Amino acid sequence: MNFEFSEDQNLLREQAQGFLAEHCPPSAVRKVLEGKAPFDKELWRKVAELGWTATTIPEEYGGLGLGYLELCVIAEELGRAVAPIPFSSSVYLATEAILMAGTRAQKEKWLPKLATGEAIGTFALAEGPGRPSPKSLKTSLAKGRVRGTKVPVADGDVANVAVVVTKTRAGDKASWQLVDLDQRNVKCDVISTLDPSRSHASVKFRSADCEPLGAEGEGWALTQKLLDRAAILFAWEQVGGAQAALEQAKEYALGRYAFGRPIASYQAIKHKLAHAYIKNTLARSNCYYGAWALNADAADLPVAAATARVGATQAYYYASKENIQTHGGMGFTWEFDCQFHYRRSKLLSVNLGSEGTWQDKLITAVEQKNAA
């Protein structure tokens, strides 16, 4: 049994932690949260220089050709730091989608730029409230051009390229289109979301140029596969954030006195934090299995992904809300950083489909596994 990261991977974790402590302190998160800049461009440049954006891209396309365990390590640290950069959209979604379904020409065109961070990618699925399905999609293809509105699209305002899910002509299936966003027929409007440290847009495609990514009608199956893979990386970000929120609550509880003693000595607080520790530990262990499944491209990946995703979503939500609660009134103030995790935890939880969506997917995956 060797259910642990390697020494090299742990070294990478230490380096990432040190780097982010220096270049992505809470003040950097706050700057994006409160300011006009859509993301921390300096941090993005440095992260790209370190090669993080190139982690899983093969060397022939300018990447590092490393495995997914390394990317999981980076994801956890970015989550811990609440990094205000378009990493998840560009790396876990757009890069992965092109790696999964791109032609050689498409890969040659986009992957080297995505690897260096010169280009930012995103994945456009949602069309307003409600759980999307092939039948609910309105964005369509007419004469080889995309029409429709996707909202919200994470980093849609800063991305150069998007993987857009469109319905097929018959309307019962979906396809993927690769859309260069730097064109006149695409209009991006920044929208306000509950986590301004990550920018989002409403993206209108007005007969936009595009090219198919993957086979026509395969878009929904590809979407499910992409979401499963991304769910594991999102889950690692969530686990990193949940751990940071627990540590923040713990530090505050140890220093805050009430009725003559630290509030950390009251069972009401201790048990709350112990519950957070339990949720975080179980979520992390499920993420380990997810990391293994992702790296090995295991048949059990759908089960592993949904398990990691549901556990991490619940853990981060719990840790972030109870972190505010532990801080009392101070946690509810704008000046305190507790809001970062509260915002990010809910954003990450809906970004890739709700908790309910993933609970449902988990049982479906278990049913399929049992039937196989």
Using the rule CB under 8 A, is 360 a contact of another protein?
yes
Please, which of residues 286-315 interact with another protein by CB under 8 A? Answer: 286, 288-289, 291-292, 295, 306-307, 310-311, 314
Phi and psi for 71 in degrees, rounded to 5?
Answer: -65, -35
Exactly one of 224, 255, 356, 368 binds another protein (CB under 8 A); which one? 356
In our burial notation (b when 16+ CB lie closer than 10 A, e otherwise), range 41-70 reads eebbebbbebbbbbbbbeeebebbebebbb
What's the CA gap between 159 and 120, in Å, rounded? 5
The reply to whether 350 sits near another protein by the rule CB under 8 A is: no
Nearest distance in Å: CB 102, another protein = 28
Whose Cβ is closer to another protein: residue 3's or residue 334's?
A: 3
Q: 192 or 370, CB closer to another protein?
A: 370
Nearer to another protein, 215 or 254 (CB): 254
Cβ proximity to another protein: between 127 and 360 the closer is 360
Query: Using CB under 8 A, which residues numbered 312 to 341 contact another protein?
Result: 314
Would you count residue 4 as binding another protein (CB under 8 A)?
Answer: yes
- Give the separation between CA 111 and CA 95, rounded to whole angstroms: 7
Task: State the DSSP code for 66.
Answer: -
Q: How far is the CB of 287 from another protein (least distance, A)?
A: 9
- Per-residue binder mask for another protein (CB under 8 A), 68-87, x = binder: -x------------------
Q: Binding string, 189-228, against another protein, x = CB under 8 A?
A: ----------------------------------------
* Cβ count near 167 (within 10 Å): 22
282 three-state secondary structure: helix
Q: Which is nearer to another protein, 180 or 355 (CB)?
A: 355
275 near another protein (CB under 8 A): yes
- 155: amino acid identity, one letter: D
Does residue number 358 form part of the binding site for another protein (CB under 8 A)?
A: yes
Beta strands at 161-167 and 121-124: parallel, antiparallel or unpaired: parallel
Number of residues that this document lists for the chain: 372
How far are the Cα atoms of 134, 142, 203 from residue 138, in angstroms, in the given order? 9, 12, 13
Nearest alpha carbon to residue 230 among 33, 95, 50: 95
SS3 51: coil
Name which of 127 and 355 has its Cβ closer to another protein. 355
One residue of 274, 328, 330, 369 binding another protein per CB under 8 A:
274
Whether the CB-CB separation of 87 and 121 falls below 8 Å is answered with: no
Cβ distance 15 to 46 under 8 Å? no
Give the CA angle between residues 242, 52, 238 to the nearest 5°: 15
Applying CB under 8 A, which residues contact another protein?
Answer: 1-5, 69, 250, 253-254, 261-262, 264-267, 269-271, 273-275, 277-278, 281-283, 285-286, 288-289, 291-292, 295, 306-307, 310-311, 314, 356, 358-360, 362-363, 366-367
